[in-house]
Amino acid sequence: MNETINLMMQHSSVRNFTEEKIPEQVLKTIIDAGRAAPNWKNFQSYSIVVVQSQEQKDAIFAQQPQKAIKNCAAFLVFVGDLHRAKTAVEMNGGAFQPEGVESLLITSVDAAVAGQNTLLAAQSLGYGGVMVGLIREQSSEISELLNLPDYTYPIFAIALGKPARVNAVKPRLPYDALVFPEKYIEQDEEVLRQYDKVQDDYAGARRLNSTWSSRMVDQWGKPENPSTRENLTEKGLL
């Protein structure tokens, strides 16, 4: 164990912030640390929109009403971005062809790795945050608010600020249920039932009227929310 690993192991999402601002140079340093993350062929196929004005935070909150959006010091929206790629391809005499799953994976993975770096950097300086993926449910509306051009799409955001409260670290799945030697090992229902109990014990009085596994029904037991697909099609990426 060292300082870096301990920081990573102590991660918990922060949704409640004080009114303290993040100094401009500190925020730039946090973002620069995020941008130092590895990415596909150094294409850096993402962009970050930094939202700090209360007016713009309130506008995003109106679309996706999560308290962390309204109360954070900075709301960083990570955008899958092939708009620069279009310029580069055409500048070099090529025919731009962005459509397809591979392009979406490249941009999404690049953004996600940078986002994790960003959040760790913020935590190391005494700040906290939470990743907000539900902005994809209002992809078109968020895109309009942020003036996102064709070949870009909002993937997730990070609400950052000085923590007003820090929750206990949420238990992860057992190591052997997630990490396999050499080949994939299928897990049976008993593994999930045992983890349901671990999560219930962790939640205590905050326990929801559902189990960890049953909440997956809301995600993968019904057709997908069409917003992301519609926005990707509109932006020329599908």
In a domain, 146, yes or no: yes
In a domain, 159, yes or no: yes
In a domain, 227, yes or no: no
- E strands, the chain, are 46-51, 74-81, 128-132, 152-161
Taking the model in full, what pTM does it have? 0.94
pLDDT digits (tens, 9 = 90+) for 172-223: 999 999 999 999 999 999 999 999 999 999 987 666 778 999 999 999 999 9
**Structural domain that includes position 51:** 3-169
- 102 pLDDT higher than 80: yes
| Mean pLDDT over each residue of the chain, to the nearest integer | 96
Which CATH number characterizes residue 157's domain?
3.40.109.10
In a domain, 225, yes or no: no
φ, ψ of residue 152 to 5 degrees: the values are -135, 155
In a domain, 26, yes or no: yes
Evaluate whether 153 touches 233 at the Cβ level (below 8 Å): no
In sequence order, the 6+-apart residues with CB closer than 8 A to the CB of 143 are 152, 153, 154, 231, 235
In a domain, 60, yes or no: yes
CA distances to 50, 73, 74, 118, 225 from 127, rounded to whole Å, are 16, 10, 11, 11, 32
Evaluate whether 119 touches 12 at the Cβ level (below 8 Å): no
In a domain, 155, yes or no: yes
Q: Count structural domains, the chain.
A: 1
In a domain, 197, yes or no: no
